[in-house]
Amino acid sequence: MGALFGSRKRGNEYFQHSPASVAAPFDHSRNLKKYRLSVPMDQRPSNSAASRIKQYPDSKTGSYGEVQAPVRIKRFGFSHRIDGGKIRAASKECSDDKMKILLGRYQSTKNRALESLRYTTEDEAAVSLRLGNEKEPIEIDGEEENQVVVSDDSSVEEAEIVKKKLHSLNSSVVTDLSNEHAKVDVVEKMMNLMQLRHESADIVVPAHKSLYDYSLRRNDKLHSLAAEIQLTEMQLRRHLLLRPVKDTREAMRDVSEECFAPLSVEEEDDVTNALSLKSNRGKVLVSHETSNIDITGEKFQCLRPGGWLNDEVINLYVELLKEREKREPQKFLKCHFFNSFFYKKLIAGKGGYNFQSVRRWTTPKKLGYNLLDCDKIFVPIHKINHWCLAVINKKDEKFQYLDSLKGGDNKVMKMLARYYIDEAKDKSGKDIDVSSWEEEFVEDLPEQENGYDCGMFMLKYADFYSRDIGLCFSQENMPYFRRRTAKEILRLRAE
């Protein structure tokens, strides 16, 4: 462009860039001096108003200017270089393409799900109930047993994995989703709840089986223990098969017959004659040399019905029970029978206890055996007008008290416990502890129903306990037991 000279009036170039000159053109040609131009004449610009207006740029709509740098659109995964006003069109086109892709994926997933759920089996439903970590089941065709549960936090691509799992079960067809509308509704509900995972769902195992499997993995010794248990059980079964079976009913019948054996005619006559007061009042009917006890006709009268048993009859009968055990030890427990004077001596003296007074009663030389080796020790207890029985039961570790009138006496229990400790210390030099032994006032026993049979009940308690059988008698048997005891005393032999 040339420079202005002279009066420095603005040239035509000013009007090429001034918008104001378009509305009010002004001719300055009179005041302009000659150009000194190096351009040829034919190429010089025209100075007409039309030519000057033509050189203005066309008006443009909107407020967009030219983009001065490349623009990269990263939304929806595209990266095209777009200039100026083409950005909006490109964005709309990209959104449409993305929507088409998403709809296509959705439709494809729905179709695969429909295909995979077309046929379900009873086994597949059972397995599918355990897929998805206990999520809410979705019913198929109203069948409660055909349910599929899918985890909520899985991806869309896992549909193929579920399809393969269901088809791999290879079982018979149970139901067919034939209604297309029903299938669409079910699948849409499923698609709203499920997102499939890439990890496979484990079938739920019962808790006890899981713990058992875990213990097997952690401790191999269980296998060897199981084998030992099985071997022991086999040996036990073989032992039971080889061992002869004892008929307990037969044994009970033998004991019952023996305890209640009737007297013969001869024995009945002997008992009747012995109980006759007229001919036998002062006569000695029986003499027992070992115990030095004599039974006269008068003392023998206590065995008549309604009589109170005296010390001589009771003490002679317990001596006969001792001899019975020695005679047939295989039939009876190892027992010792104190006489009616033992407890009276034990509690006599200062403080109500005197071990020294009975210390020499149980020397091994005198008894022929050790008192501490006995299974049961019987102690008759006489309380003025009533007989009871106390038992030191080593076999069952008990101190027992049997009263036909259902009474009890704690003092007797304590005295016998103290005696047993002192006896062990004196005879064997050992300190024994009986604090754990039970003190039992026996309640399940035959009861006395009159005021005179207590002595006979006491003797029968000792008789049946020494046989190691239950007290299977009652008040009704007392008349028989009186005559039987009289017979056994006359014969000096307890049966």
Give the tens place of pLDDT for each residue, 311-342: 999 999 999 999 999 999 998 999 999 999 99
Question: Where do the domains of the chain lie, and which CATH numbers do they carry?
Answer: 12-54 (no CATH), 112-219 (no CATH), 250-491 (3.40.395.10)
Look at residue 254 in the predicted model and tell me its pLDDT: 59
386 is catalytic: yes
**Helix (H) or strand (E) run with residue 288 in it:** strand 284-288
141 is catalytic: no
Asked if 407 and 424 touch (Cβ cutoff 8 Å), the reply is no
| The two three-digit tokens of residue 280, written as one number | 């036998």
Look at residue 135 in the predicted model and tell me its pLDDT: 44
Report the mean per-residue pLDDT for the chain: 74
Q: Which of the residue ranges 219-228, 359-368, 440-449 would you say has the lowest mean pLDDT?
A: 219-228
Give the tens place of pLDDT for each residue, 9-19: 455 554 444 44
Report how far residue 336's alpha carbon sits from residue 165's, in angstroms, rounded to the nearest whole number: 82
335 is catalytic: no
Angle between helices 311-327 and 454-466 (to 10 degrees): 10
The residue from 335, 374, 388, 454 that is catalytic is 454
Burial of 247 (0-12, 13-18, 19+ CB in 10 A): exposed
Look at residue 277 in the predicted model and tell me its pLDDT: 74
Asked if 149 and 128 touch (Cβ cutoff 8 Å), the reply is yes
Report how far residue 383's alpha carbon sits from residue 388's, in angstroms, rounded to the nearest whole number: 8
Average the pLDDT over 252-258 and give the result. Answer: 65
Q: Which of the residue ranges 101-115, 136-150, 226-240, 282-296 would you say has the lowest mean pLDDT?
A: 136-150
pTM across the whole model: 0.52
The amino acid at 51: S
Closest to 132 (Cα-Cα) out of 200, 205, 207: 200
3-class secondary structure, 296: strand
Report how far residue 221's alpha carbon sits from residue 226's, in angstroms, rounded to the nearest whole number: 9
pLDDT band per the 50, 70, 90 thresholds, residue 50: low
The residue from 386, 409, 422, 468 that is catalytic is 386
Look at residue 255 in the predicted model and tell me its pLDDT: 66
Average the pLDDT over 115-138 and give the result. Answer: 49
Report how far residue 160's alpha carbon sits from residue 124's, in angstroms, rounded to the nearest whole number: 16
